[in-house]
C-alpha cells in the first residue's frame, strides 16, 4: 500500500533553511544598519537563537570581568614585590660605590667587570607564560628580533636565553634563525631561587668568555596603562653598581610609584602615589679584612642576581597590567555587543507582534 504525503511550500522552505544552517551554508541577511552609532549585521535568525546569543555574550562578559579582577589583585602583589626588593638593591649599590671609591687607582681584576671586544652578545628575553594580555608578548618578541637584526648587521653573533613559555615557544620553533641556549619559565611569583638559576647560566657564559656582553630584554613597569620594552646591559657590570640600558640611560627605581585600584561610583579608577624607600646611610670609613678582589667577587654576582630578580618582577607586573587592560576592553566590547543584539532582538520581536495584530484585525474585518 502506498502512502502519499503533501507538505506545504512554506514548510519546505523552512526545512531547507534549517538544513542549510546546520550544513554550514550561508543564511540570508539584510544590509547593515546603523545601530547606536555603529554598523552591525542584522542576520535573519530566530528569536530563540538571538536570546541564546545574548546569554552567551553575557556569560563571556562575566568571565572577562572575573579575569580582570583576578589580574588586578595579582598586579598589586607584583608591585609590592618590586617595591620590597628596592631597599636591598639600593643598599648594595651604596656598598659597591663606597668600595669603588675606596679602591680608586688600585689595580683590581673582577671577572664580571671585564670589558672586552664584543663578538658575541647573550640576550635574556623575558616574556609571559600565558596569553590574553594584549600585545605584551608580541612587543618583547619584536624588540628581540629587532635587537638581533641590529647585532647581526654589525657582525656580532647573538645568543638567546628565553624566560617565559611564550618566548620559548616562539623562538624554539625558529632554531634555524635564532641560537637558543636555554629556556626558563616565568612563573606567577618569581623568587630568588629562579633568578639565581638564570644568573648562574649568565655567569658561566660570561666568565668562560663564550659571550662578551649580556643584555636583558624585558618590559619595564611604567604604569597600569603603559609598559616600556627595555634593552638593559647586564654584563659587564660597573664597579660603582650603575645599571644602564644600551643607550647609556641609567635605569633605577627613583621614580617608582604604587598604583591602587579603587571603586568610585561603581567604576574602577586608578590612584597613584610615590613609593619612597628608607635606607640607612653607608659609613664612608671602612677596613678591609679580606682582599678587595674577593669582596667584589662576592658582591657583584649578588648585585647581578638582584637585577635579574627585579627584571623578572617588573616583567610579571607589566604582564598582569596588560592582561587587566585587555580583559577590561573585552568586557566593554561584550557589554556594547550585548546592547546592540538586544536592540535588534527587541525590534524584531516588536515587528512580529505588530504583524500578528495586523493579521488579527484584518481577519476580524473580513468576518
- Known catalytic residues are 133
Cis peptide bond N-terminal to 236, omega within 30: yes
Written as one string, the DSSP assignment of 4-38 is: -----HHHHHHHHHHHHHHTT----BPPPEEETTE
Reported as a single tens digit per residue, the pLDDT across 205-256 is 998 889 999 998 988 776 666 677 888 888 887 544 444 444 444 444 444 4
Q: Residue 122: which pLDDT band, with cuts at 50, 70 and 90?
A: very high
Reported as a single tens digit per residue, the pLDDT across 328-346 is 889 999 999 999 999 988 9
pLDDT of residue 45: 62
In the chain, what are the helix, strand and coil shares in percent, each to the nearest 5? 50, 20, 30
Its CATH class, for the domain covering 78-275+291-326, is alpha beta
DSSP annotation of 187: -
Reported as a single tens digit per residue, the pLDDT across 290-304 is 777 777 777 888 888
pTM score above 0.75: no
CB 264 within 8 Å of CB 255: no
Maximum Cα–Cα distance across the chain: 116
Res. 187: pLDDT tops 50: yes
Strands ordered across the beta sheet of 213-221: 179-184, 157-163, 120-126, 213-221, 227-235
Question: What residues are paired with 228 via a beta bridge?
Answer: 220
Residue-range domain boundaries for the chain: 78-275+291-326
Amino acid at each position: 500500500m502506498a502512502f502519499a504525503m503533501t507538505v506545504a511550500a512554506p514548510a519546505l522552505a523552512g526545512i531547507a533553511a534549517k538544513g542549510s544552517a546546520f550544513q554550514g551554508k550561508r543564511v540570508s541577511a539584510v544590509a547593515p544598519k546603523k545601530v547606536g552609532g555603529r554598523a552591525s549585521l542584522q542576520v535573519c535568525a530566530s528569536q530563540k537563537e538571538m536570546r541564546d546569543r545574548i546569554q552567551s555574550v553575557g556569560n563571556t562578559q562575566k568571565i572577562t570581568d572575573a579575569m580582570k579582577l583576578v589580574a588586578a589583585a595579582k598586579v598589586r602583589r607584583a608591585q609590592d614585590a618590586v617595591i620590597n626588593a628596592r631597599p636591598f638593591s639600593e643598599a648594595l649599590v651604596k656598598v659597591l660605590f663606597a668600595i669603588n671609591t675606596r679602591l680608586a687607582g688600585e689595580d683590581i681584576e673582577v671577572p664580571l667587570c671585564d670589558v672586552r671586544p664584543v663578538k658575541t652578545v647573550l640576550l635574556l628575553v623575558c616574556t609571559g607564560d600565558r596569553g590574553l594580555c594584549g600585545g605584551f608578548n608580541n612587543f618583547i618578541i619584536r624588540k628581540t628580533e629587532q635587537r638581533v637584526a641590529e647585532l647581526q648587521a654589525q657582525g656580532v653573533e647573538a645568543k638567546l636565553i628565553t624566560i617565559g613559555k611564550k618566548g620559548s615557544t616562539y623562538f624554539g620553533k625558529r632554531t634555524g634563525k635564532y641560537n637558543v641556549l636555554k629556556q626558563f619559565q616565568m612563573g606567577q611569583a618569581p623568587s630568588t631561587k629562579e633568578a639565581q638559576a638564570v644568573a648562574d647560566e649568565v655567569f658561566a657564559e660570561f666568565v668562560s668568555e663564550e659571550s662578551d656582553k649580556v643584555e636583558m630584554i624585558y618590559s619595564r613597569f611604567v604604569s597600569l596603562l603603559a609598559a616600556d620594552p627595555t634593552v638593559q646591559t647586564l654584563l659587564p657590570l660597573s664597579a660603582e653598581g650603575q645599571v644602564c640600558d644600551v643607550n647609556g640611560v641609567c635605569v633605577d627605581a627613583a621614580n617608582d610609584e604604587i598604583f591602587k585600584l579603587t571603586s568610585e561610583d561603581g567604576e574602577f579608577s586608578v590612584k597613584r602615589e610615590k613609593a619612597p624607600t628608607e635606607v640607612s646611610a653607608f659609613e664612608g670609613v671602612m677596613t678591609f679584612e679580606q682582599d678587595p678582589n674577593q669582596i667584589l667577587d662576592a658582591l657583584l654576582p649578588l648585585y647581578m642576581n638582584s637585577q635579574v630578580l627585579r627584571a623578572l618582577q617588573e616583567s610579571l607586573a607589566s604582564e598582569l597590567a596588560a592582561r587587566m587592560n585587555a580583559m577590561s576592553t573585552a568586557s566593554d566590547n561584550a557589554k556594547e555587543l550585548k546592547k546592540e543584539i538586544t536592540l535588534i532582538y527587541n525590534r524584531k520581536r516588536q515587528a512580529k507582534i505588530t504583524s500578528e495584530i495586523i493579521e488579527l484585525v484584518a481577519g476580524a474585518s473580513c468576518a
